[in-house]
Structure 1
Amino acid sequence: MRKGTKLYSILFNKCPYCHEGDFFVTKSAFNLKKFDQMHKNCSVCGQSFEPEPGFYTGSLYISYALYVAWIISTFVLFGVLLEIDVIAFLWGLIPSLIILTPFFFRVARRVWINIFVKYRPYSKK
């Protein structure tokens, strides 16, 4: 993955502006005490990670799309291709959705801010 792409910032927890500083405080989405804690600003370029109050409300739509994509892809895999019973599928799906919640939360926020912030190689703001 090459620096300078939005996908780099999203996948590697990096600032969307400079791709140097970390976006979330912890690297792991599964540290349940700190999975939702973000830096206020980038430690390298100073980019604000919360441009305005309520900015991440829109990331709920991204999160919803991630959940739908997960449900459809697992249904196609297990329900259609492997012909698993629908009830058995649901018993596996529900825990997977709960376990993936912190991961989807973080990815949705990084996608949302990357929609609005353009990459520029490091320069002091």
Structure 2
Amino acid sequence: MNERCQKCNFKFEKEPGFFFGAMYVSYALAVAQMIACFIIFWVLLDLSPLVVFFIIAFVVMASMTFNFRVSRAIWIYLFR
């Protein structure tokens, strides 16, 4: 994350613990991705449970950094 916003110079670093709520947002994003993958690959495509598990694990691991940045942005915009 950048320390300050490039456009408005807003300092992203709040008091210690401010972004703990972003962990909950990140968790919610990951769960939504898992449910979407489950519905697509098991319910619609009827793949085996082991294949679906590995697909879900790959999608979550691949989107981890994206979720981290987006969840912090969502959390900070709730309080800005």
Same fold, judged at TM 0.5 (above):
yes
Aligned equivalent of 2:55, options 80, 89, 92: 92
Q: C-alpha displacement at 1:53, in angstroms?
A: 1.6
1:56 is matched with which residue?
A: 19
| Identity across matched positions, percent | 39
The CA RMSD measured in Å over matched residues stands at 1.2
Q: Is there any run of 5+ residues in structure 2 with no aligned partner, and where?
A: none
Instruction: Write the letter of the residue equivalent to 1:47.
Output: F
Instruction: Write the letter of the residue equivalent to 1:94.
Output: A
Which deviations, in whole Å up to 9, do the C-alpha atoms of 1:16-61 show, x marking residues without a partner? xxxxxxxxxxxxxxxxxxxxxx222223322111221221111000
Aligned residues between the structures: 80
2:39 is matched with which residue?
A: 76
- Point out the structure with the larger helix share: 2
Partner Cα separation in structure 1 for residue 16 and residue 9 of structure 2: 18
Residues 1-125 of structure 1 correspond to what in structure 2 (within 5 A)?
Answer: 38-117=1-80
Moved over 3 A (4+): none
| Secondary structure at 1:113 match in 2 | helix
Partner Cα separation in structure 1 for residue 7 and residue 57 of structure 2: 39
Partner Cα separation in structure 2 for residue 45 and residue 83 of structure 1: 49
Instruction: Write the letter of the residue equivalent to 1:39.
Output: N
Partner Cα separation in structure 1 for residue 35 and residue 4 of structure 2: 36
